[in-house]
Structure 1
Amino acid sequence: MNSELKIFTPIGMLGYGFSESIFWSTIADGIDAIIVDAGSTDGGPSKLALLHTSATSEAYKRDLGLLVKAAHLYRIPVLIGSAGGDGANAHVDITVDLIADIVSSHGYRSLNVVSIHAELDKEIVRDAFHADALRPCTAAVPPIAHSDIEDAPRIVAQMGHEPYVKAMKEHPDFDIIVGGRSYDPAPYAAFCIYRGFIDLGIAYHMGKIMECGALCAVPKTPEAMAIVRKESFDIVPLRPEARCTAFSVAAHTLYEKSRPDILPGPGGSLHLESATYEQLDDGRTVRVRGARFLAELEGKYTVKLEGARMCGYQSAFVGGFRDPILISQIDDFLDRVRAMIQEAIPHPYELEFHVYGRNGVMGSLEPETDTISKELCIIGRAKASTQAEALHVSHVALTCCKHMSYPDQVATAGNLAFPLIPTNMPMGAVAEFCIYHLLEVEDPTAFFPNHLHIAQGTGSGARYLEDVPCTPPSGYGYLGNMASVIRSKNAGPYELTFDVIFPDERMFALVKSTAILHAEAIARLYHIKPIDVLACVWWAPANAFKATIKRKIANGSFGEADTHGSAQHIPLLYLTVPIPRDS
């Protein structure tokens, strides 16, 4: 066993692209494995329900082309998790086929490619349902119904490290492993375990950071390297302009997680209360120690099941309002549009207006409902049981928005500026998550069979608020001017999480001492019930505060205006914080 492992991640999501020059120079310096995540629920439910992919076929071919060439030339093992975005069997198989095409067309040596499937037979899920053995993944997830199981065209289980370890042991001469739906850090932890680095706390913590590439760097960049040892690991970004700091790596623990100290996954939880982050002398590398993985009790191993269903068809139009007379009465205008549509449409439908410049991004969470821009962008979205019915609804809505009169109107030629032709666009099927539940399993590898494929070859071998015209009251400051990072992000499909990260311990302590940030304050700020604030944590290792709330609409479902949840942080920017006199 080597004293350390060097694991290279060229990008946080396969298909998003990365630097070819950095890729080859890193490989030339010597690495032990290339590991890349390819999936997430971030992009919504359409991948699972409709077999969409996270990236285009051309994007996958480009990134896979470099990975396959590295495996061919340098015999570097490559591990890919959650193929296609959702980890469905079809997307695993498509990825394997793309690899085979690359090998064949470039005249590479034959490669051993191992696939790991992650779809469940519905009968297993039905039996679990009737045995009352399925429970929601978090408090934000609704209880499962039998119709949820029947409506989902496919159901995947999220695998831990065990199926990857099993695949490597059964096929020790593998070149590439293509995994179905995976816990994001599972391939990283598995490779560490397979190579003798068996501390799951170290392995999973490293994987949890690395699966995003160098997102933890300043500035954030794609390519990252982890150097793993028995009792620690180092994280270093590979672009010369980027550096990791103890602060930035600790802060990454908050990213898209419900809470930063305990991260649940298949078979147990990663505990980071005692983790430490040490800045090394080069100013770019951070050494991490102290994470613990606490396994679930024997016989209580759980995996997460994910499923989504089609729930109709949608169509949309995009346009802009600039007339100040109309803008001043926009709410009443749109109410009258809705009333006219209700009279004109006999079949069931849903209609949403997203008004950008009003509350288009934040929707019901927007606190500044009395503020309005000089011009508004409107997106009308209709949903119905067929594409034709959805198009009819959006057509009527578009016509009303273009030509309906309003009090004091002087511009009678039309109301709406529209940039796209055709103006009324069919958007295809719309999907929603319906399964996000835990199931206890006896064997963590039982649902995840692996298969060996021979890819036949012929060869051998900035500050936020400086320009805002308003100022806080005397004796107060804006939170946005006190924090170095304020962000929002999905924490799974049903939760929205907020991170407030302060530049130093002094500012962290100052804001914490004001007691301005707590669950009730978050509930007031976002117009939600206190019970829907699921977590509220001060996190000293990263000088940070985190809050997690229940989503009003699961990400990607019809009516959602911010699928990634990354534009919901604005009220926190303008939260007024009392400034102690001695500060």
Structure 2
Amino acid sequence: MSKSQLRILCPNGHLGFAPTKEGSFRIGAATKPDYYCCDSGSDDIGPAPLGADKCASMYEWQKHDLELMLLAAREQGVPMIVGSAGDTGSNSRVDMYVQIIKDLAKEHNLPKFKLAYFYSEVDKKYLQDKMKKGIRIEGLDGRQDLSINDLEKTDRIVAVAGVHPYIKALQMGADVIIGGRSSDCAVFAAPAIKEGFSEDLAYYLGKVLECASFCAEPYGAKETVIGTITENDVRVTAMHPDQRCTIASVAGHAMYERSNPFYEYVAGGMLDMTNCKYEQYDEKTCRITGSVFVPIEGKVKVKLEGAGKVGEKYIGIAGIRDPYTIENIDKVIEWCKQQVEEKFTGKEYYLDYKIFGKNGVMGDLEPIKEIKSHELCVIVEGVAPTKEMAEEVTLTGTRQIFYARLPEVKGTAGTAAFVVDEVLPATPAYTWTLNHVIPVDDPMELFDVKLIEVGN
């Protein structure tokens, strides 16, 4: 190790998804961290952005966050790393981020620096050729192995990079790195591993930093935290004056969203947190020891994510205040579905209703008390092969709420008092077609790092 410790600043759990809070960022930047790193993507946003090749976040928000990081890192002369560019890490999103960096460098008259970037998209023919050779592309989370049929239904595929392209870019002398789709923790683990720290602690550092202030309390998103790695431990510190990284907040964050809370699958292996020990290092800092990285045995496997278009989509909105309709909302929805089925019998479509404000129970009170809603909001989602049909399916399914025939109702008295706007066009509907892993001879096989010079 060239350093006894390494400090990495993470300003946002998903760059640009909502703007980074500048106050805590500037507090963190003033401490002069060794790296500025941030993840900018997630499959939590669903398959549509990848399939449609668009962002889930506002352009200005993403530019805002990149600008904060770039100016601080260049002023200090330390590296900046961003992974999964533009929410999905597709090639066009990487190009967009590279252009933003170029534009910011010109706008702020920054001295020359080296910008590295890599793409993550995978061509379908590449996978077809692998499958023809009998190479198994294994399904994850209960999926079947990839079939030619599922591949043909796919519009866009990205491979999920591990630490390797980031380490290579740093070895090439990059000052700024823009990565395609990547494992969240790899963005942070890579510089620590490159600097000589153990994989056991480096991957935990990545795990705890990837969501930024989500590991702090009280809850406050988009605030900056700093992770410190040494030969013996990882320490994470909240930068917001009112936040703290505590044993409870850090351990809770490390173990959320998993069927087995003590194991986290990361690119290239698994992070075993069974023997992690959490200590309160100081008022704002939690210290962690005991994590173990277990590499995959045998051939390296790279995760693939793919999305395919299902159809065009429209959204309808209905607000209901009639008490009797609210009480019988399930019957009303069944009536609506029947009317749509009658009109579109034999045609392919998808219709879904999401009811907000439906009667429920409040279990914390004694005795348990039923909550009676006075108003419902019903979101109607219609999907069909064409925009015209999707609009008609959705409009029919929404307006039939008004016409639902409840046998107890006499005349129009007591029918649903509701408001319907025109149904609204939405992003086409996509589905995940790939959640698989492919064996590769070299972990860099799908990721080609490019280096250019930017600035004046």
- TM-score normalised according to structure 2 size: 0.91
Give the distance between the partners of 2:128 and 2:204, measured in 1 at CA: 34
Of 121, 124, 131, 1:129 maps to: 131
Going from structure 1 to structure 2, the CA distance change for 1:264 and 1:54 (only over 3 Å counts) comes to same
Name the SS of the counterpart of 2:45 in structure 1: coil
Going from structure 1 to structure 2, the CA distance change for 1:376 and 1:410 (only over 3 Å counts) comes to farther
CA contact (8 A) 1:354 1:378 kept: yes
Give the distance between the partners of 2:235 and 2:247, measured in 1 at CA: 11
Which structure 2 residues correspond to residues 187-226 of structure 1 after superposition, within 5 A? 187-197=187-197, 199-221=198-220, 222-226=223-227
Name 1:353's counterpart in structure 2: 353
Instruction: Encode CA deviations 1:355-397: one digit per residue, 9 max, x unaligned.
Output: 223389xxxxxxx9x9863322211111100111000111222
How far did residue 350 of structure 1 move?
Answer: 1.6
Name 1:455's counterpart in structure 2: 454
Give the distance between the partners of 1:404 and 1:247, measured in 2 at CA: 50
Name the SS of the counterpart of 1:181 in structure 2: coil
Give the distance between the partners of 1:413 and 1:424, measured in 2 at CA: 25
Higher RCO (Cα < 8 Å, 6 or more apart): 2
Q: Which moved more, 1:313-322 or 1:68-77?
A: 68-77
How far did residue 428 of structure 1 move?
Answer: 3.3
Name 2:23's counterpart in structure 1: 21
Amino acid at match of 1:28: A
Aligned residues: CA RMSD: 2.1
Give the distance between the partners of 1:17 and 1:427, measured in 2 at CA: 24
Give the distance between the partners of 2:144 and 2:322, measured in 1 at CA: 43
Going from structure 1 to structure 2, the CA distance change for 1:341 and 1:121 (only over 3 Å counts) comes to closer
Which structure 2 residues correspond to residues 489-500 of structure 1 after superposition, within 5 A? none
Give the distance between the partners of 2:334 and 2:120, measured in 1 at CA: 47
Structure 1 residue runs without a partner (length 5+): 361-367, 458-583
Give the distance between the partners of 1:250 and 1:437, measured in 2 at CA: 29
Going from structure 1 to structure 2, the CA distance change for 1:445 and 1:329 (only over 3 Å counts) comes to same
Consecutive aligned runs of 4 or more in structure 1 exceeding 6 Å deviation: none
Give the distance between the partners of 1:452 and 1:202, measured in 2 at CA: 29
CA contact (8 A) 2:8 2:226 kept: yes
CA contact (8 A) 2:14 2:40 kept: yes
Going from structure 1 to structure 2, the CA distance change for 1:33 and 1:374 (only over 3 Å counts) comes to same
How far did residue 287 of structure 1 move?
Answer: 1.0
Name the SS of the counterpart of 2:36 in structure 1: strand
Give the distance between the partners of 1:337 and 1:22, measured in 2 at CA: 50
Name 1:336's counterpart in structure 2: 335
How far did residue 404 of structure 1 move?
Answer: 4.0
Instruction: Encode CA deviations 1:148-181: one digit per residue, 9 max, x unaligned.
Output: 2122222111111111111211x21x22100111
Instruction: Encode CA deviations 1:527-567: one digit per residue, 9 max, x unaligned.
Output: xxxxxxxxxxxxxxxxxxxxxxxxxxxxxxxxxxxxxxxxx
Give the distance between the partners of 2:208 and 2:261, measured in 1 at CA: 12
Going from structure 1 to structure 2, the CA distance change for 1:399 and 1:251 (only over 3 Å counts) comes to closer
Give the distance between the partners of 1:355 and 1:266, measured in 2 at CA: 38
Name 1:81's counterpart in structure 2: 83
1:66 to 2:68 alignment: yes
Name 2:384's counterpart in structure 1: 384
Give the distance between the partners of 2:359 and 2:353, measured in 1 at CA: 10
How far did residue 22 of structure 1 move?
Answer: 2.7
CA contact (8 A) 1:7 1:33 kept: yes
Instruction: Encode CA deviations 1:434-465: one digit per residue, 9 max, x unaligned.
Output: 100011112111111011122233xxxxxxxx
Give the distance between the partners of 1:10 and 1:78, measured in 2 at CA: 12
1:5 to 2:10 alignment: no
Amino acid at match of 1:133: R
How far did residue 188 of structure 1 move?
Answer: 1.1
Instruction: Encode CA deviations 1:481-504: one digit per residue, 9 max, x unaligned.
Output: xxxxxxxxxxxxxxxxxxxxxxxx
How far did residue 345 of structure 1 move?
Answer: 2.8
Of 113, 117, 120, 1:118 maps to: 120
Amino acid at match of 2:300: Y
Amino acid at match of 2:261: P
How far did residue 328 of structure 1 move?
Answer: 2.7
Going from structure 1 to structure 2, the CA distance change for 1:336 and 1:284 (only over 3 Å counts) comes to same
Q: Which moved more, 1:174-183 or 1:400-409?
A: 400-409
Instruction: Encode CA deviations 1:236-276: one digit per residue, 9 max, x unaligned.
Output: 11111111112221121222233222222222111111111
Give the distance between the partners of 2:243 and 2:26, measured in 1 at CA: 18
Give the distance between the partners of 2:68 and 2:161, measured in 1 at CA: 26
CA contact (8 A) 2:322 2:415 kept: no
CA contact (8 A) 1:135 1:438 kept: yes
Name 2:363's counterpart in structure 1: none
CA contact (8 A) 1:268 1:301 kept: no
Name the SS of the counterpart of 1:214 in structure 2: helix
Name 1:259's counterpart in structure 2: 260
Name the SS of the counterpart of 1:243 in structure 2: coil
CA contact (8 A) 1:357 1:372 kept: no
Q: Which moved more, 1:121-130 or 1:106-115?
A: 121-130
How far did residue 311 of structure 1 move?
Answer: 0.5
Q: Which moved more, 1:176-185 or 1:399-408?
A: 399-408
Name 1:436's counterpart in structure 2: 435
CA contact (8 A) 1:185 1:207 kept: yes
Name 1:535's counterpart in structure 2: none
Give the distance between the partners of 1:254 and 1:306, measured in 2 at CA: 24
Name 1:164's counterpart in structure 2: 166
CA contact (8 A) 2:136 2:145 kept: no
CA contact (8 A) 1:278 1:288 kept: yes
Name the SS of the counterpart of 1:220 in structure 2: coil
Amino acid at match of 1:395: L
Give the distance between the partners of 1:328 and 1:111, measured in 2 at CA: 65
Of 99, 102, 107, 1:100 maps to: 102
Name 2:425's counterpart in structure 1: 426
Amino acid at match of 2:391: L
CA contact (8 A) 2:109 2:455 kept: no
Give the distance between the partners of 1:409 and 1:204, measured in 2 at CA: 66
Q: Which moved more, 1:214-223 or 1:123-132?
A: 123-132
Give the distance between the partners of 1:146 and 1:416, measured in 2 at CA: 50
Give the distance between the partners of 2:294 and 2:104, measured in 1 at CA: 41
How far did residue 142 of structure 1 move?
Answer: 4.1
CA contact (8 A) 2:28 2:224 kept: no
Amino acid at match of 1:313: E
Name 1:398's counterpart in structure 2: 398
Instruction: Encode CA deviations 1:323-378: one digit per residue, 9 max, x unaligned.
Output: 12222322222222222222223532121111223389xxxxxxx9x986332221
CA contact (8 A) 2:300 2:440 kept: yes
CA contact (8 A) 1:33 1:77 kept: yes
Going from structure 1 to structure 2, the CA distance change for 1:409 and 1:397 (only over 3 Å counts) comes to farther
Q: Which moved more, 1:234-243 or 1:249-258?
A: 249-258
How far did residue 138 of structure 1 move?
Answer: 2.3
Name 2:239's counterpart in structure 1: 238
Q: Which has the higher strand share?
A: 2
How far did residue 398 of structure 1 move?
Answer: 2.4
1:294 to 2:294 alignment: yes
Name 1:375's counterpart in structure 2: 375
Give the distance between the partners of 2:340 and 2:74, measured in 1 at CA: 60
Name the SS of the counterpart of 1:29 in structure 2: coil
How far did residue 143 of structure 1 move?
Answer: 3.9
Going from structure 1 to structure 2, the CA distance change for 1:190 and 1:229 (only over 3 Å counts) comes to same
Instruction: Encode CA deviations 1:215-252: one digit per residue, 9 max, x unaligned.
Output: 11111332101111012111111111111112221121
Give the distance between the partners of 1:29 and 1:371, measured in 2 at CA: 50
Give the distance between the partners of 1:425 and 1:22, measured in 2 at CA: 39
- TM-score normalised according to structure 1 size: 0.72
